Structures are given as C-alpha cells and as structure tokens.
Amino acid sequence: MAERLLFWLGSSLHDIGSFPEDARRLAGFQLRRIQQGFDPNDWKPVAVVGQGVREIRIHTELEHRILYVAKFAEGVYVLHALEKRTQKISRHDLDLARKRFSELLVKRRAASAR
C-alpha cells in the first residue's frame, strides 16, 4: 500500500510544532502509522466532531491529542492538535475541529461537483 498524504488544516501543523519534543516525536510516529494504513497505538473515535473523526492520544509528562480523519482516499486530514489540561477536550477545541471538518466536507463536495 502506498503511503497516504497528510493534509494539515488550519493551524494544526503549527500546533503540533509547539508540542514538547517527546510529544512531537510520538505524534510523528503515530501519524506515519496512519499514513501507512495502520491504526495509531492509542486512539478513540470523536463522533461529536464528525463521522470518521478520531483522536490520537499521546501520553508524556503532559497529555496531547491530534484530531484527524483518514476515511478519504486522497489522504489523512489533520483537523486539530492540542495540549489537554483537563479530563475532557474543551468545547472550544471541539468546535474548532468541527468547523474545520465541516469546511473540508464543503470543499470536497465542491471539488466533486466540477
């Protein structure tokens, strides 16, 4: 299987770049697994954001999450990346990921209508 492309939506690439080095390294490893067609080592669905959206759970001294969708043939879309300071992902972070996912769906529909 060919490696799938990564598409960074919004500030997601910058956000991962601001993770501590150990979390960045783990994020890169997990994203590579997804590109190669495997599941991340620790993930869960985030249906509240959208159908097919998942979160990668990165455990270091701090907690980090990467929200992504990998159900489209053209590649893997990274919707949002964040440092988690509470038990739940904040409403702001979920709303941001939901907005990016919605914009992605609109863009894909427009492209397929051409």
- pLDDT for the residue 24: 97
- Overall average pLDDT of the 81-85 stretch: 93
pLDDT at 21 over 70: yes
Radius of gyration of the chain (CA): 14
C-beta of residue 19 within 8 angstroms of C-beta of residue 110: no
Range of the domain at 32: 5-113
pLDDT at 77 over 70: yes
- State how far the Cα of 3 lies from the Cα of 48, in Å rounded to an integer: 28
pTM (two decimals): 0.95
User: Residues of the chain with pLDDT > 90: what percent?
Assistant: 91
CATH of the domain at 97: 3.30.2310.20
Which of these, 32, 30, 34, lies nearest to 52 by C-alpha position? 34
Query: Could you count the other beta carbons within 10 Å of the beta carbon of residue 44?
Result: 11
User: Residues of the chain with pLDDT > 70: what percent?
Assistant: 99
- pLDDT for the residue 1: 62
- State how far the Cα of 27 lies from the Cα of 23, in Å rounded to an integer: 6
pLDDT at 23 over 80: yes
- pLDDT for the residue 58: 97
pLDDT at 95 over 70: yes
Domain count, the chain: 1
Q: Using 50, 70 and 90 to split pLDDT, how confident is the model at 2? A: confident
